[in-house]
Amino acid sequence: MKEYKKVLFLIIALVLAGITVFALFMFSHHKDKRDILMLNDLVKTVKNSWDDPETLDLSRFEMEIIVFGYDNSVIYSTALQELKDIDSAEEALRDGCLCLNVNEDDLFMGTIVVLDPAVASISFMKVRLLIASGILITIMIFGAVVYGFYVKRSIVQPFRKMEQFAVNVAYGMLDEPLMLEKNNLFGKFTGSFDIMREELKASRRREEALKQKEKELVASLSHDLKTPITGIKLLCELLSVKVEDQYLLKKIDNISQKAEQINVLVNDLLTSSLDDLGEMHVDCQDESSAILHQLVTEHDSRTLVREATVPECMILVDRIRLSQIIGNIISNSYKYADTPIDIDYRFSEGYLEMSVRDYGGGVAKEEIDLVTKRFYRGSNATGKDGSGLGLYTSSMLIEKMNGELICSYKEDGFQVTLLIPLS
């Protein structure tokens, strides 16, 4: 603010100085040499030398002069510019010149022609006006330039910095502070902006810390749930061996299937949480493609899968994670389609392509790109258990193995294609 006052005082001083110079220049008294005394002296000098024109010397009067005789003959002339075209006293009078008669008593001797002092004064004032106006305009332009430079440096540039700062904050770039300049006109304003940035940064740190704790809690609970689920499955296996009653065996099998569904959901939740924590690791090794048949058989608890012959080759995968992926896909088909499942294989540009297709209601075409998003459940999932993590987890795991999961819309079902990298 102090700097603003200094600039304002400077501009006011410049304007006042310009007005003062203009006034002094315009209204100062100018003593014209061609006053009444000088004109009388001129007439007297010409009259004294009238009989001997050769001795006439009017150079001290510093003006253009023409002396005409009574018959308009030129007796003396210093006309150079303004009076050079004057040929007679009558013409001089018509052109607005001042004509002075030279008389001896009552005898008319001739005429002295000079420029009218009033006309000369007006011309002089015009020149003064132009000069004074030029000086005033120059001072005002200089003041405007100074003020414009100050406005740009102290107002425009700080506002542009604040505009860029606001854009950075909107994009989440909270580490770069808003630099305050000395004598900034908007110092408190920009200071408040930077305080806002610090508060947003602190709030984001708190939010990230809470999210981290939430992820750790979910991962811990998911891991802890696996132990009782495993115990339930083992107990079901033991009871299925000991019990002979068919009704009880059917109930035990239902409990085992439900436990397996819970196990799949917990695995998905744990995998997703570990991936968020940066602790999800995939250990790829060379494996025979024969393991695909083993994994399919392992998860085909309802024997609905119709599998084509697996081509013999070596694939680069993490067997445990690949088992989780195949289990998720088959489990989804059981849950949403409850139809036979066809699995085909073929080679495709460095991949073994594994297509898993069912013949249920499928997924709407507009939802195909969304079913692999976290927690997304399609319109066909109404009334079905699930968390929306199965295909998301499978897609994430296969990508970590440098493969790809592709979902396809079918008019009479749904298809998931796994691109499994070859060794």
pLDDT of residue 216: 62
Average pLDDT over residues 378-384: 63
Neighbouring residues of 196: CB distance < 8 A, sequence distance ≥ 6? 169
Residue 136, domain member (yes or no): no
pLDDT of residue 185: 61
Using the predicted structure, report yes or no on whether residue 104 has a pLDDT greater than 50: yes
**Least confident piece of the model among 57-66, 93-102, 115-124:** 115-124
pLDDT of residue 13: 75
CB 334 within 8 A of CB 359: no
Average pLDDT over residues 103-118: 82
Let me know whether 333 and 407 are in one domain: yes
Q: How far is CA 374 from the centre of its chain?
A: 32
Residue 326, domain member (yes or no): yes
Confidence class of residue 387 from pLDDT cuts 50, 70 and 90?
low
Q: Indicate if the alpha-carbon torsion angle 320, 322, 328, 334 is positive or negative.
A: negative
Using the predicted structure, report yes or no on whether residue 411 has a pLDDT greater than 50: yes
Percentages (nearest 5) of helix, strand, coil residues in the chain: 55, 15, 30
Return mean pLDDT, the chain: 78
pLDDT of residue 34: 47
Q: 246, 261, 280 — which closes off a domain?
A: 280
Let me know whether 49 and 98 are in one domain: yes
Residue 293, domain member (yes or no): yes
pLDDT of residue 258: 80
Neighbouring residues of 358: CB distance < 8 A, sequence distance ≥ 6? 333, 336, 337, 339, 340, 341, 342, 413, 414, 415
Confidence class of residue 383 from pLDDT cuts 50, 70 and 90?
low
Parallel, antiparallel, or unpaired: how do β-strands 107-114 and 285-288 relate? unpaired
Let me know whether 290 and 396 are in one domain: yes
Q: In whole angstroms, what is the distance from residue 376 CA to residue 392 CA?
A: 9
Let me know whether 361 and 409 are in one domain: yes
Sheet containing strand 107-114, edge to edge, reads 74-77, 66-69, 107-114, 98-104
Using the predicted structure, report yes or no on whether residue 421 has a pLDDT greater than 90: yes
Average pLDDT over residues 304-318: 91
Residue 196, domain member (yes or no): no
Q: In whole angstroms, what is the distance from residue 95 CA to residue 78 CA?
A: 18
Q: 114, 143, 171 — which closes off a domain?
A: 114
pLDDT of residue 177: 73
Opening angle at CA 301, ends 295 and 305, nearest 5: 70
Let me know whether 62 and 72 are in one domain: yes
**Least confident piece of the model among 106-110, 120-124, 219-223, 266-270:** 219-223
List the domain range (segments joined by +) for residue 102. 36-114
pLDDT of residue 180: 61
Let me know whether 339 and 250 are in one domain: no
Using the predicted structure, report yes or no on whether residue 2 has a pLDDT greater than 70: no
Let me know whether 242 and 309 are in one domain: no
H or E stretch at 414: strand 413-421
How would you label 222-250 residue by residue, b for 16+ Cβ within 10 Å and e otherwise? beebeeebeebbeebeebeeeeeeeeeee
Using the predicted structure, report yes or no on whether residue 203 has a pLDDT greater than 60: yes
Let me know whether 246 and 305 are in one domain: no
CB 55 within 8 A of CB 64: no
H or E stretch at 306: strand 305-307
Confidence class of residue 33 from pLDDT cuts 50, 70 and 90?
very low
Q: Model's pTM, two decimal places? A: 0.45
Of 84 and 277, which is predicted with more confidence?
A: 84
Average pLDDT over residues 162-174: 76
> What is the radius of gyration, based on Cα positions, of the chain?
54
Query: Helices (H) and strands (E) in the chain — how many of each?
Result: 10, 11
CB 345 within 8 A of CB 309: yes
Residue 388, domain member (yes or no): yes
Let me know whether 413 and 354 are in one domain: yes
Over the stretch 245-300, which tens digit does the pLDDT of each residue have?
Answer: 888 888 888 887 787 777 777 776 666 666 665 556 788 999 999 999 999 988 88
pLDDT of residue 188: 63
Residue 270, domain member (yes or no): yes
Let me know whether 273 and 305 are in one domain: no
Using the predicted structure, report yes or no on whether residue 227 has a pLDDT greater than 70: no
CATH number at residue 412: 3.30.565.10
Task: Cite the DSSP H helix spans in 28-79.
Answer: 36-48
Of 127 and 182, which is predicted with more confidence?
A: 127
CA 85 to each of CA 82, 97, 115, 205, 237: distance values in angstroms, whole numbers, following the listed order: 8, 12, 13, 95, 136
The DSSP 8-state label assigned to residue 422 in this structure reads B
Neighbouring residues of 334: CB distance < 8 A, sequence distance ≥ 6? 302, 304
Say how many domains are in the chain: 3
Let me know whether 325 and 395 are in one domain: yes
Of all residues in the chain, the percent with pLDDT exceeding 90 is 13
pLDDT of residue 309: 92
Using the predicted structure, report yes or no on whether residue 355 has a pLDDT greater than 90: yes
CB 223 within 8 A of CB 263: no
Let me know whether 411 and 290 are in one domain: yes
Residue 257, domain member (yes or no): yes
Using the predicted structure, report yes or no on whether residue 220 has a pLDDT greater than 70: no
Residue 25, domain member (yes or no): no
The DSSP 8-state label assigned to residue 95 in this structure reads T
Of 399 and 157, which is predicted with more confidence?
A: 399
CATH number at residue 236: 1.10.287.130
pLDDT of residue 23: 66
- Which two three-digit tokens encode residue 305? 């899968």
pLDDT of residue 250: 83
Residues linked to residue 191 through DSSP beta bridges, in sequence order? none
**Least confident piece of the model among 279-283, 337-341, 372-376:** 279-283
Q: 93, 114, 135 — which closes off a domain?
A: 114
In the block, tokens 């609970």 appear at: 221
